[in-house]
Amino acid sequence: MEKPVQGAVLFADVSGSTKLYDTVGDKLAFAAVQSCVNAFIQVTESNGGRVIKTIGDEVMAIFPSGNVAAAAAIEMQHAVERLEPTGGQRLGARIGFHFGPAIERDGDVFGDMVNLAARLSDVAIRGQVITSRATVEGLNPVLRGSCRPLHAIDLKGKGEVDICEVLWQESEQTVTVLAPTARPDAGRATKLVLKYGDREIVLDAGKPTLAFGRDKAQELVVDDSNASRAHGKIELRAGKFFVADHSVNGTYITVEGNAEFVLRREDFALLGRGWIAFGQSREKATATLAYEVI
């Protein structure tokens, strides 16, 4: 049975495997390639994505949004980079993804969106993450600022499509944005100070979570009609404080010095200091939650 879906399809392909097979033999090369494939799968699942299938040394996956796919792609590159070399050689990853509508049938996904994602993976070279300009326009400001325009490619039947590269090596903060897990070597936060009206709440290893919403049963009761009853949660994971949106109207985040953006059923690793608004922008909100990562 077919059903329409909306998501970001990602293709991650191991780069350098042919040369590795030629130099170290089948057994060692296969193990090294499988380590990369396993890393792709693990990152996909930890970021809330779904592996659709593996094709040789390539993984096809789908994510709920372009933001999550971008963060997962960045994490995949770092995961492969951390793998030990085999026979003095390192493998790499070529990744392409695109967000849009598709058709799901028997667990597989089909459509123009999938074809474009596959083509973007083909365009990528070792160590690159390539996506479409249309997908970049839907990313949050931090991730969007880590993308650079490239050129247009010709897609059969669709004409030219503008593409961009996601720069994952130049900015550490991109790996923490909208990713449920953080790099093991990333800076670890020890305390999160929250201020809501006259109330101050401190989260740390001893108190790692805070549920918030309009319902009186929530630990932090939000006095805003645009907030959902169980609006979301802040929790300490892997040395980072993440805010998770579970709401109908979204959670609005402003990192000091950056433009406001909205989370919709996504996670965001809080950076520096800023403000959180519930169900509407900070400018319109009756009350906001100020935060500072220490």
Cα distance between residue 56 and residue 234, in whole Å:
39
- Name the amino acid, one letter, at 3: K
Q: Which domains does the chain have, with CATH numbers?
A: 2-176 (3.30.70.1230), 192-293 (2.60.200.20)
The listed range with the strongest mean pLDDT (2-6, 209-213, 252-256) is: 209-213
pLDDT at residue 189, as a whole number:
55
pLDDT tens for residues 212-228?
999 999 999 999 999 99
pLDDT tens for residues 65-91?
999 999 999 999 999 999 999 989 999
Q: What band does 143 get if pLDDT is binned at 50, 70 and 90?
A: confident
Tokens of 265: 């059923």
Cα distance between residue 251 and residue 161, in whole Å:
32
pLDDT at residue 156, as a whole number:
65
Give the chain's count of helices (H) and strands (E).
Answer: 6, 19
Contact 111, 102 (CB under 8 A): yes
Average of pLDDT values for 276-294?
Answer: 93
Give this prediction's pTM. 0.64
pLDDT at residue 172, as a whole number:
45
Among the listed residues 169, 141, 143, the one whose alpha carbon sits nearest the alpha carbon of residue 259: 141
Q: Which long-range contacts (CB under 8 A, 24 or more apart) does 208-211 make?
A: 208/235, 208/236, 209/233, 209/234, 209/235, 209/236, 210/234, 210/235
Share of the chain above pLDDT 90, in %: 63
Among the listed residues 242, 197, 241, the one whose alpha carbon sits nearest the alpha carbon of residue 220: 197
pLDDT over 80 (residue 186)? no
Distances in Å between the alpha carbon of 105 and those of 6, 40, 132, 168? 13, 23, 25, 33
Q: What band does 234 get if pLDDT is binned at 50, 70 and 90?
A: very high
